[in-house]
Amino acid sequence: MENTHWQGKKVLITGPDGFVGSHLTEALLKLGAKVSVYVKEKTSDGPIQCQLGKIAHLVDEFEEIITGDIADKDAINLINRNGPEVIFHLAAKAYVPFSFDHPFEVMETNLIGTLNILEAARLNKNIKRVVCTSSSEAYGTAQYVPIDEKHPLNPTSPYAASKVAADRYSFAYWNTYGVPVSIIRPFNMFGPRHTYDMVPKFINLALEGKPITVYGNGEQSRDLLYVDDAVEGFLIMGSHPDAVGKAVNFATGKDYSVNYCAQKIKELTNSVSEIVHVEERAAEVDRLCGDYSYAKQLFGWEPKVSFEEGLKRNIEFVKNQKTSK
């Protein structure tokens, strides 16, 4: 889709201060979109900049900053008052282990929050597209590889179950009400500004010379998608006419074991860190390896950044952050 598509488009982003959301927000502003953001209010006092982390530098560029809980029904009215043409819904409780002890909280944010977005879109006459963010975790451990969109949805954690429910609710709103929904299923995303999950944790530990802790035997593997390629996927799902009513994988078609990732990060950082194995994590997915051929067929999309190149960029970013503190 040509870059002029976004010029002047009224866009609302939920979860704009998250890892991927912050990159997508920057990209849409650069493309000339009129961007509003929906953020969870963290404090009742202090300037809004203090409540934003990754996108605080963009605060003056937004059309509107909406604050509230995405899981509250008030969200429907707040969004409709804003009247967006396109909604990118990324707000979620996304850290899998958090869902082990907080399944209700995760369900409320990830499922009820998505339902509020869908209902707001159904009632909004301006709406042209809603992009709902699903997850490769919805598939569970690969029953065959690479995982295509026809693979069974077999969630292994409360987080994954909440994403499956939100994914299918999104499809139902397109199927029942004709809401122009597209569902993006990105595989494990990494890159600058990510603060949890394997890659950022390993990079920080390696740079600090601390032990790199691996859950279980480390043979579990992941398909790791660099954030720039993921953002391109989001922009396509928000603009391409063939994305409506579809769930589409964005992946690399390659998976790497956790052991390999730890070794590669240690090598690229010249770290003296020891790699140590700890007890296996609950609800662990053994293997994720995505098939992106549907995205290629529909949109001509392919990943451009290799895993090693992505790691180098990510390491450089973290190094610069540490030296600037």
Percent of the chain at pLDDT above 70? Answer: 96
For the segment 50-63, the average pLDDT, to the nearest whole number, is: 87
Length of the chain: 325
Say whether 159 is catalytic. Answer: yes
Q: What is the pLDDT of residue 322?
A: 87
Span 129-145, pLDDT tens digits: 999 999 999 999 999 99
- Is the bond preceding residue 47 a cis peptide, omega within 30 degrees? no
Q: Does domain 9-193+225-254+288-304 have CATH number 3.40.50.720?
A: yes
Structure tokens that stand for 257 in this block: 């074991």
Span 198-229, pLDDT tens digits: 999 999 999 999 999 999 999 999 999 999 99
Q: Which among 38, 139, 159, 226 is annotated as catalytic?
A: 159
The rounded distance, in Å, linking the Cα atoms of 106 and 127 is: 27
* 180 burial level (CB within 10 Å; 0-12, 13-18, 19+): middle
Question: 287 by DSSP, 3-state: which?
Answer: strand
Q: What is the pLDDT of residue 20?
A: 98
Structure tokens that stand for 186 in this block: 């990105």
Q: How far is CA 21 from CA 7, 54, 73, in A?
A: 19, 9, 22
Q: List the single range of 46-60, 69-83, 208-222 with lowest mean pLDDT.
A: 46-60
Q: List the single range of 81-85, 92-96, 153-157, 311-315 with lowest mean pLDDT.
A: 92-96
Instruction: Work out the pLDDT band at 324, boundaries 50, 70, 90.
Output: confident
Residue 196 pLDDT greater than 90, yes or no? no
Letter for the amino acid at 45? D
Q: State the greatest distance between any 2 C-alpha atoms of the chain, in Å, as a whole number.
A: 58
Instruction: Work out the pLDDT band at 50, boundaries 50, 70, 90.
Output: low
CA terminus-to-terminus distance, the chain: 39
List of residues 6+ apart from 141 with CB closer than 8 A: 154, 156, 285, 286, 287, 288
Question: 86 by DSSP, 3-state: which?
Answer: strand
Residue 43 pLDDT greater than 80, yes or no? no
Is the Cβ–Cβ distance between 132 and 183 less than 8 Å?
yes
Q: What is the pLDDT of residue 183?
A: 98
Residue 34 pLDDT greater than 90, yes or no? yes
Span 232-279, pLDDT tens digits: 999 999 999 999 999 999 999 999 999 999 999 999 999 999 999 999
Percent of the chain at pLDDT above 90? Answer: 91
Q: What is the pLDDT of residue 1?
A: 45
For the segment 186-198, the average pLDDT, to the nearest whole number, is: 95
Span 149-180, pLDDT tens digits: 999 999 999 999 999 999 999 999 999 999 99
Question: 243 by DSSP, 3-state: which?
Answer: helix
Structure tokens that stand for 7 in this block: 């010029």
Domain ranges for the chain: 9-193+225-254+288-304
